[in-house]
């Protein structure tokens, strides 16, 4: 029997990951349009972000405990259809029923967030299951496509909305809704590799316990790495505008776009030349610490801006790199392991940015900020932003400590 050719399957996975980036980066670009056209409050807009991450986290947890009840091959093939369906509802309900605009946005968000959760849980193990001479580089390339997708969405959306007007946002969304259909077609005509649902072997209880500890360490690592990446992802534009007094267009385009550019560059660089993933993770965490501290402490706007953007390069491998580390240290992990890793990453992506927002609000309203800001010659809100940025450095700092412990732990276990 001839060995199946999984080249098209791998391309389908890559395209699905690329298309999925729109569900993360497009909605924030349209929030002010929704507020102006439909009168949706900031609180309700923020709720859409919360629903997005909570839905993904729910999918991660479902697959962590009930993976055996799913047909993995069919789920992978259906996933892009859910993405398209979600974006269609997102676009068409406000167009035809503007009085129910928020209901449409909320329903669409739930649908494409389910697809995003499935993508995180399933695409990585499918790529890992495809025979390859350099599986770790394939994984890095897969995750680099998310960053390139974000960059593409920002550029395409900015140009479209500038030329065609924000009132035509629906057509932009319909364009992005069509892209996942290509991935669906590719999956339907491509062979699917056998994917392990969960790790199972005849290991002794002691070995199983050690594997469980290793898995917990990897989940904690991806939580901290995701937190370090997503605080800056979500706050870079607002931080530049408020704390650094940079024009909004510079913060939106140069901040977000350059951050995504360096995020993609770092992952692509590893895909081509990468090795020693533990060293790469340590360097990334340490670099993120320097970037956050520089952004929070430096009073020179250009230097602080560069630090914010460079965070994209430093954190580029923290999520995919932890997956590579897990595959290296815990062979044959299974989908349950990937689901747990996705849950850890999504938890970090939701808690850390929210935590920075809480810090900014609390510090800005405090009596200490009122007196200190007068001394420093900045506004209480600027002081709150800088304090939040400094405190966010705690995630990569703990990450460095954890990685040093993991390096020692895995060396001891493999001895």
Q: Are 318 and 230 a contacting pair, CB within 8 Å?
A: no
Q: Are 103 and 371 a contacting pair, CB within 8 Å?
A: no
What does the alpha-carbon distance between residue 60 and residue 125 come to, in Å, rounded to a whole number? 13
What does the alpha-carbon distance between residue 72 and residue 9 come to, in Å, rounded to a whole number? 14
- The confidence score (pLDDT) of residue 184 equals 92
Domain shared by 330 and 382, yes or no: yes
Rg (CA), the chain: 21
The torsion region of residue 253 among left (phi > 0), alpha (psi -120 to 50) and beta comes to: alpha
- The confidence score (pLDDT) of residue 236 equals 83
Residue 168 belongs to a domain with what CATH number?
1.20.1250.20
Let me know how long the chain is: 415
What does the alpha-carbon distance between residue 164 and residue 149 come to, in Å, rounded to a whole number? 21
What does the alpha-carbon distance between residue 179 and residue 80 come to, in Å, rounded to a whole number? 9
Cα angle 124, 127, 131 (rounded to 5 degrees) comes to: 145
Q: Are 356 and 388 a contacting pair, CB within 8 Å?
A: yes
CA distances from 356 to 160, 288, 343 (A): 32, 16, 20
Spell out the residues 6+ positions from residue 287 whose beta carbon is closer than 8 angstroms to its own. Answer: 310, 313, 314
Domain shared by 220 and 179, yes or no: no
Q: Are 330 and 410 a contacting pair, CB within 8 Å?
A: no
- Select from 226, 15, 21 the least CA-distant residue to 112: 21
Domain shared by 112 and 187, yes or no: yes
- The confidence score (pLDDT) of residue 346 equals 85
The torsion region of residue 346 among left (phi > 0), alpha (psi -120 to 50) and beta comes to: alpha
Helices (H) and strands (E) in the chain, counts: 17, 0
- Select from 259, 254, 281, 260 the least CA-distant residue to 270: 281
Domain shared by 70 and 217, yes or no: no
- The confidence score (pLDDT) of residue 42 equals 64
The pLDDT tens digits for 121-151 are 888 888 888 888 877 788 888 888 888 888 8
Alpha carbon 218 to its chain centroid, in Å, reads: 17
Domain shared by 168 and 233, yes or no: no
Domain shared by 213 and 186, yes or no: no
- Which residue blocks in 21-100 are alpha helix, DSSP H? 22-38, 42-66, 72-96
What does the alpha-carbon distance between residue 386 and residue 306 come to, in Å, rounded to a whole number? 15
Of the residues 167, 195, 223, which one is the last residue of a structural domain?
195
Which residue shows structure tokens 């259906």? 78
- The confidence score (pLDDT) of residue 202 equals 54
- The confidence score (pLDDT) of residue 393 equals 96
Q: How many domains does one find in the chain?
A: 2
Alpha carbon 248 to its chain centroid, in Å, reads: 23
Of the residues 146, 170, 195, which one is the last residue of a structural domain?
195
Domain shared by 178 and 234, yes or no: no
The pLDDT tens digits for 226-255 are 999 988 887 887 788 777 777 766 666 677
- The tokens for 225 are 């790495």
Domain shared by 350 and 333, yes or no: yes
Over the range 196-217, which residues count as b (16 or more CB within 10 Å of their CB) and which as e?
beebeeeeeeeeeebbeebbeb
Range of the domain at 101: 1-195
Residue 136 CB neighbour total at 10 angstroms: 21
Of the residues 173, 195, 217, which one is the last residue of a structural domain?
195
In order along its 415 residues, the chain shows pLDDT tens digits of 456 778 889 999 999 988 888 887 888 778 778 888 898 876 777 778 778 878 888 888 888 777 777 888 888 999 999 999 999 999 999 889 989 999 999 999 999 999 988 888 888 888 888 888 877 788 888 888 888 888 888 888 888 888 898 889 999 999 999 999 999 999 999 888 887 665 555 556 777 788 889 999 999 999 999 999 988 887 887 788 777 777 766 666 677 788 888 998 999 898 888 788 999 999 999 999 999 999 999 888 889 889 999 999 999 999 999 999 998 888 877 788 888 898 899 888 888 887 888 888 888 888 888 888 778 888 888 888 899 999 999 999 999 999 999 999 998 876 5
Domain shared by 255 and 370, yes or no: yes
Domain shared by 64 and 98, yes or no: yes
Sign of CA dihedral 285, 291, 295, 298: positive
Domain shared by 122 and 214, yes or no: no
Domain shared by 166 and 247, yes or no: no
pTM of the model: 0.81
């Amino acid at each position: 029997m001839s060995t199946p050719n999984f080249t098209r399957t791998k391309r389908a996975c890559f395209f699905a990951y690329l298309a999925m980036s729109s569900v993360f980066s497009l909605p924030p670009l349209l929030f002010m349009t929704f507020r102006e056209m439909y009168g949706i409050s900031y609180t309700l807009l923020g709720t859409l972000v919360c629903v997005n991450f909570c839905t993904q986290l729910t999918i991660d947890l479902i697959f962590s405990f009930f993976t055996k009840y799913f047909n993995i091959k069919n789920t992978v093939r259906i996933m892009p259809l859910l993405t398209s369906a979600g974006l269609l509802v997102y676009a068409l309900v406000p167009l035809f029923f503007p009085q129910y605009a928020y209901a449409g946005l909320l329903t669409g968000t739930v649908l494409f967030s389910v697809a995003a959760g499935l993508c995180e849980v399933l695409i990585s193990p499918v790529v890992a299951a495809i025979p390859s001479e350099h599986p770790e580089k394939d994984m890095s390339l897969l995750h680099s496509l998310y960053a390139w997708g974000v960059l593409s969405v920002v550029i395409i959306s900015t140009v479209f909305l500038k030329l065609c007007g924000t009132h035509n946002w629906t057509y932009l969304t319909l364009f992005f809704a069509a892209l996942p259909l290509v991935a669906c077609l590719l999956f339907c005509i491509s062979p699917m590799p056998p994917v392990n649902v969960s790790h199972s072997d005849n290991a002794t209880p002691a070995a199983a316990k050690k594997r469980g500890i290793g898995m917990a360490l990897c989940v904690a690592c991806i939580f901290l790495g995701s937190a370090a990446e997503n605080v800056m992802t979500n706050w870079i534009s607002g931080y530049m505008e408020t704390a650094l007094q940079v024009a909004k267009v510079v913060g939106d385009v140069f901040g977000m776009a350059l951050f995504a550019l360096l995020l993609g560059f770092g992952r692509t660089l590893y895909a081509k030349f990468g090795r020693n993933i533990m060293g790469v993770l340590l360097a990334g965490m340490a670099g993120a610490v320097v970037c956050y501290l520089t952004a929070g402490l430096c009073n020179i706007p250009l230097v602080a801006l560069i630090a914010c953007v460079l965070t994209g390069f430093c954190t580029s491998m923290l999520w995919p790199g932890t997956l590579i580390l897990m595959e290296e240290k815990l062979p044959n992990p299974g989908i349950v392991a990937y689901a747990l890793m996705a849950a850890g990453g999504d938890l970090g992506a939701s808690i850390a940015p929210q935590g920075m927002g809480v810090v900014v609000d609390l510090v800005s309203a405090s009596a200490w900020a009122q007196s200190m800001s007068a001394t420093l010659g900045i506004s209480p809100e600027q002081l709150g932003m800088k304090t939040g940025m400094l405190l966010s450095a705690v995630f990569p700092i703990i990450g460095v400590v954890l990685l040093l412990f993991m390096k020692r732990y895995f060396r001891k276990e493999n001895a």
